[in-house]
Amino acid sequence: MSQVLVIVFMKKLKIILPFSIFVIIYVIFAIHYKPISKYSIDDNNVEGYIYDCQRQDDKTILKIKGKENILINYYNDFDCKLGIKIRATGEVKKPSQNTNFNLFNYQNYLLSEKINYTFLARNINIVNAKVNIFYKIKNYLYQHIKNYKSENYLKALVLGNDDDINIGVKGSYQTNGISHLIAISGTQITLFSCLLLYIFNKIFSKNISYLLTILLLLFYLFVTNFQASILRATLFFIILTINKQFELKIDSYILLIITCGILLVFNPFYIYSLGFLLSFVTSFFLLIFSSIINKQKNYLFKNLNISLIAFLASAPILINNFFQLNLLSPLINLYFVPIMTFVIYPLSLLTFIFKPLDDILFILIQIMENASLIISQINFLNLTFHHMNILVFILYYILIVFILYKWSKGKNYLSLFFIVLIIHHNINYLNPYSTLTMLDVGQGDSILIKLKNNKGNILIDTGGQQAYDGKTPYDIAKNITIPYLKSEGIDHLDYLILTHGDFDHAGMAINLIKNFKVNHLILNKENNDLENKITKAFKGKITNISRGVVTINNIKLNFLNGLNKHNENDDSLIIYTKIDSQNILLMGDASKESEKYLLNTYNLPKMDILKVGHHGSSTSSSKEFIEVISPKISLISAGKNNVYGHPHQITLQTLKNSKIFTTKKDGAIKINLTKNTILTQAR
């Protein structure tokens, strides 16, 4: 009996241990490894060979190999040619981290490409225009497809660059859970390798055929800039070849773990690459539980099993990166994967060589894009999920391993996973805490109040469009507000309140309401042109108010400002509320005159939390006002390096008896109103 138990345990360990090793590697490197750079923040020139070039809006983005990889932003036209040596003068910049909770971390993304710093260039000079043979071929390949109708997809599917695919179409791919289909990965590399082997085997011996295939794959890696998913697939193919040729008989999943280990030693920051994570995790699960696939004889059901395993394996990663998951994606993949794998991808390879096929490929691509756009509108099972901490993330994978193990033994527990997803989707109903979060939206205001047990989600102001990297317009609604709301498990706003019509408070309102569900809009009574445009775009209930009370599930929002000065700042909506015994006063851009009105009109209590007026300007926060309300916590929203010098030193001195937090220094600030705790997403 004991021998049987040992055998059973060892079989389970064979499945669980490699996965556990992967998770441990992920956690160790993610938390402890620190980058070391050969560049200094004080450097004012860099020199190296261009290996990637992209034109984006009003700037050119260059990636060069100098002392190490570095990304150059150049706000001018530049006739880019891969392989030339350049010298740029300007200043080294430290890439930004996510200053809002749970969101995209640009610094980690660049680290996954072995880039420690960016460089803002004032001038670029060509040092050496001679290009080696490899870059000549690479330049030729890009030039070769310039006049193709399907150029954007040839870049993506053959050259590994999907930057030029329409952003709306890419969004539909993400919604449908099929983004992986426009990224070169294991399936494409396998097809490409098999094609090469088939051709070479007609001419050479088997050993030479494998050698030539490997050499071409290595050159292909160079062409595609050593992308993590392609590197994984290529290295895995090489290791599989060695295993086969030398008859080592090592299990494929062990070889995959070896591949993972080699790549993490080469670049530990691959753990920040979404392509790397998805590629390894889905491949690992498909190999470990291949018995589920192999015992199914029907082609359709076999592919459905593959799609379901891949869906389960990738779900936690997708949830923690995009905060949503389409439960229909296994079925959607069942439709799109064969089309892409056996039609569009092979046809792309052929079209790359034979241009007359371009028209056919272009028509098929349009059909696929239109189908994706239509299907993405079927969103009743596209659910929003709260961001997970590492413990919940690991528990998800323990559950997935359990379900797949039972499935491999003929027992179906798939419904358990979907039950957990439904609970996770509705987790805010179980949330016993109310929170207030001041988002970092640069030089602007945006505050989220999230009431306990999903009793109300209120956004006060949206921020406005700010400059990113100094010049390029940046969509705050798309890149900050909506992703953050989703990361909190919020799929709609009960109320959007705009304190006034200045762009830094209401500039993103139209973008927000076009792309996110908002039930009720509240504005002040003095509407300017921007607010009129917002009301025209909004289809829900609108309330105009200056003084009055709005009650949301026993929480009263008291609107206090009755000045009516016909001035955007003086007429800002001023909101007082009490949540879980916390007195909260939100001042918008109200001036000292508005503060005087409050003192003369109301018997204001001492405040636990004050959203300081007008970004900490000297025109707000008078001594008399602050002495009366005596805030324990003062929140100031001000942009980093803002031209106004906010917050003003006089204001900071006036507030010195309170705990002062600024988005300029602290990033987003989140206060748990129930537990009375504070978190900051420090810059």
Q: Can you tell me the distance from the alpha carbon of 84 to that of 64, in angstroms, rounded to the nearest whole number?
A: 9
Angle between helices 358-376 and 345-353 (to 10 degrees): 150
Q: Can you tell me the distance from the alpha carbon of 357 to that of 375, in angstroms, rounded to the nearest whole number?
A: 27
Tokens 């229909």, residue? 328
- Per-residue tokens: 84: 């030339």
- What is the predicted pLDDT for the residue at 9? 45
- What is the predicted pLDDT for the residue at 254? 86
CB 138 within 8 A of CB 82: yes
CB 495 within 8 A of CB 552: yes
Give the strand pairing for 609-611 and 472-474. unpaired
Q: How many helices (H) and strands (E) does the chain have?
A: 26, 24
CB 233 within 8 A of CB 264: no
Q: Can you tell me the distance from the alpha carbon of 521 to that of 261, in angstroms, rounded to the nearest whole number?
A: 52
Q: Characterise 637 by phi-psi region: left (phi > 0), alpha (psi -120 to 50), beta (else).
A: beta
432-680: CATH superfamily? Ribonuclease Z/Hydroxyacylglutathione hydrolase-like (3.60.15.10)
CB 625 within 8 A of CB 595: yes
Closest CA to 438 of 480, 475, 384: 480
| Start and end residues for every CATH 3.60.15.10 domain found in the chain | 432-680
Q: Can you tell me the distance from the alpha carbon of 72 to that of 99, in angstroms, rounded to the nearest whole number?
A: 22
Q: Can you tell me the distance from the alpha carbon of 88 to that of 66, in angstroms, rounded to the nearest whole number?
A: 11
3-state DSSP helix/strand/coil % of the chain, to nearest 5: 50, 20, 35
Please, which residues have CB within 8 angstroms of residue 650's CB and are 6 or more apart in sequence? 618
Closest CA to 61 of 93, 30, 98: 93
Give the C-alpha distances (Å, rounded to integers) separating 310 from 114, 235, 304, 306, 643: 28, 21, 10, 6, 49
> H helices within 33-83, ranges in order?
none
Tokens 């179906």, residue? 412
- What is the predicted pLDDT for the residue at 16? 56
b/e map 110-149, b = 16+ CB within 10 Å: bbbbbbbbbbbbeebeeeeeebeeebeebbebbebbeebb
CB 463 within 8 A of CB 499: no
Upper half-sphere CA count for residue 238 (Cβ side, 13 Å) = 17
Closest CA to 241 of 287, 206, 266, 216: 206
Give the strand pairing for 541-544 and 520-523. parallel
Upper half-sphere CA count for residue 85 (Cβ side, 13 Å) = 9
> H helices within 429-555, ranges in order?
476, 482-487, 503-506, 509-515, 529-537
| Residue ranges of the chain with per-residue pLDDT less than 70 | 1-33, 466-473, 682-683
Please, which residues have CB within 8 angstroms of residue 356's CB and are 6 or more apart in sequence? none
- Per-residue tokens: 475: 């969509």
Sign, CA torsion 229/231/234/239: negative
Q: Output the DSSP codes for 144-192.
A: HTTT-TTHHHHHHHTTS--TTS-HHHHHHHHHHT-GGGGS--HHHHHHH
Q: Can you tell me the distance from the alpha carbon of 234 to that of 217, in angstroms, rounded to the nearest whole number?
A: 7
- What is the predicted pLDDT for the residue at 5? 42
pLDDT tens-digit map of 397-436:
999 999 999 999 999 999 999 999 999 999 999 999 999 9
| Start and end residues for every CATH 2.40.50.140 domain found in the chain | 45-140
CB 183 within 8 A of CB 165: no
CATH architecture, range 45-140: Beta Barrel (2.40)
